[in-house]
Amino acid sequence: MNALLFAASEIHISLKAEPVFQIGPLTVTNSMLYGLVCAVVIAALLIVAARRITVRAHKGFGQIIEIIGEVVLDMLEGIFGSRKQAVRFAPIFGSFFFFIILNNLLGLLPLVGPGLTVTVGGTATPLFRPFTADLNGTIALSVIAIVMVQVLSVREQGVKGHLKHYFSSKPLNPINMFIGILEVFGEFTRILSLSLRLFLNVAVGEILIAVFTSLVAAHGRTPLAAIPIFLFETLVAAIQAYVFTVLSATYLGLAIAHHDDDHHEVAPKVEGAQEPR
C-alpha cells in the first residue's frame, strides 16, 4: 500500500476560549457567546413548555419537560428529605440542571466548534465553543452555585444558624475554631472540584470527537467513526448535569441539616402533653 489507510487530517483543538469581538474593554469569547445563545434558547423552550403543560397529561415536548422536572424534584426530595423543600429549591437547582445538560447536548451540534468559524485577526476562529468546555465558564457556574448555597442557608436559618454550621455552638473553643476555619476553606475547594470535574469531562469529550471526526479513510472523512463517541458524550452530558446539581443541592442540605434536626427536637415538647411533676 502506497498510502496509509488511516491518517489524521488537520483538527482544531483548544483548551481555552478564543476572542470573537470587543465591546469596549470587554472581550467576548466564543464560549461566552455560546452560553448567551444557550440561555436564550433554554428560556424560550421552557416558556413554550410551561404554556403546553396542563393538568391533564398530553404527549409532546411539554410532557418531556414535565418528566425531566419531576426527575429533578424527586432528586431534590431525596437530598432534603422533604417534598416542600424540594419544590422551594427546584427553580434554582433545576436551572443548573437544564442549563448544563442542554449546554452539553447542544455542544454536540456541527455548528459548535470548527463547523462555523469567523475571521478574527486574519485567523479562522470557531464562533461557538461549549460554555462548559471553558474553565472560566465552569468556575463561574461553581461560584454561583456555592454563593447560592450560602444565601439559601442564611435565608433558611439566619446568620447565626449558618455560622453554627461551621463553628458549632461553641466557636471560641480552639478545636471548634480550627475545624470551622477548615470548613470555610472547604467551600473554596468545592468550587475547584465542581468546576474542574465539569470542565475536564466536557473538554476531553470535545477533544475525542475532534480526533475521531478527523480520521481519513480512502481519501474521505469518516464522521461515522465518531458516532460511538457522540453517544457516549450524550450520556456524559446528562451525568455531569446530574452530578453538578446533586452536589450543589447536597452542600445546601448539609448546611441546613442541623437546623432541621433542632426543629424536630423542639417539636415534641411543643405538641406533647405537659410533663409530669
Q: Span 152-172, mean pLDDT?
A: 81
Q: Is residue 122 part of a domain?
A: yes
The Cα–Cα gap between 84 and 80 comes to 9
The model's pLDDT over 215-264, given as tens digits with 9 standing for 90+, comes to 655 444 556 666 787 888 888 889 999 999 999 999 999 888 865 555 54
Q: Is residue 15 part of a domain?
A: no
The model's pLDDT over 89-119, given as tens digits with 9 standing for 90+, comes to 998 999 999 999 988 888 888 788 777 788 8
In terms of C-beta distances under 8 Å and separation of at least 24 residues, what long-range contacts does 212-218 make, across chains too? 213/11, 214/8, 214/9, 214/10, 214/11, 215/6, 215/7, 215/8, 215/9, 216/6, 216/7, 216/8, 216/9, 217/5, 217/6, 218/5
Q: Is residue 275 part of a domain?
A: no
* Residue 111 · residue 128 · CB < 8 Å: yes
Domain coverage including residue 176: 20-264
The values of phi and psi at residue 53, to 5°, are -75, 125
Structural domain total, the chain: 1
Q: Span 191-208, mean pLDDT?
A: 89
Q: What is the pLDDT of residue 244?
A: 94
Q: Is the Cα torsion angle 53, 56, 61, 67 positive or negative in sign?
A: positive
Q: What is the pLDDT of residue 215?
A: 66
Grid cell at residue 48:
413554550
Q: Is residue 48 part of a domain?
A: yes
Average pLDDT of the chain is 79
The Cα–Cα gap between 193 and 107 comes to 22
Confidence category of residue 4, pLDDT binned at 50, 70, 90: very low
Q: Is residue 170 part of a domain?
A: yes
Q: Is residue 144 part of a domain?
A: yes
Number of Cβ within a 10 Å radius of residue 276:
4
Cα atoms found within 13 Å of the Cα of residue 148, Cβ hemisphere only: 19
Q: What is the pLDDT of residue 209?
A: 77
Q: What is the pLDDT of residue 5?
A: 39
Q: Is residue 171 part of a domain?
A: yes
The Cα–Cα gap between 236 and 241 comes to 8
Grid cell at residue 274:
405537659
| Residues 6+ away with beta carbon under 8 Å from 89 | 76, 80, 152, 249, 252
Q: Span 18-45, mean pLDDT?
A: 88
Q: Which of 15, 223, 242 is nearest to 129 (CA)?
A: 15
Q: Is residue 249 part of a domain?
A: yes
The structure's pTM equals 0.80
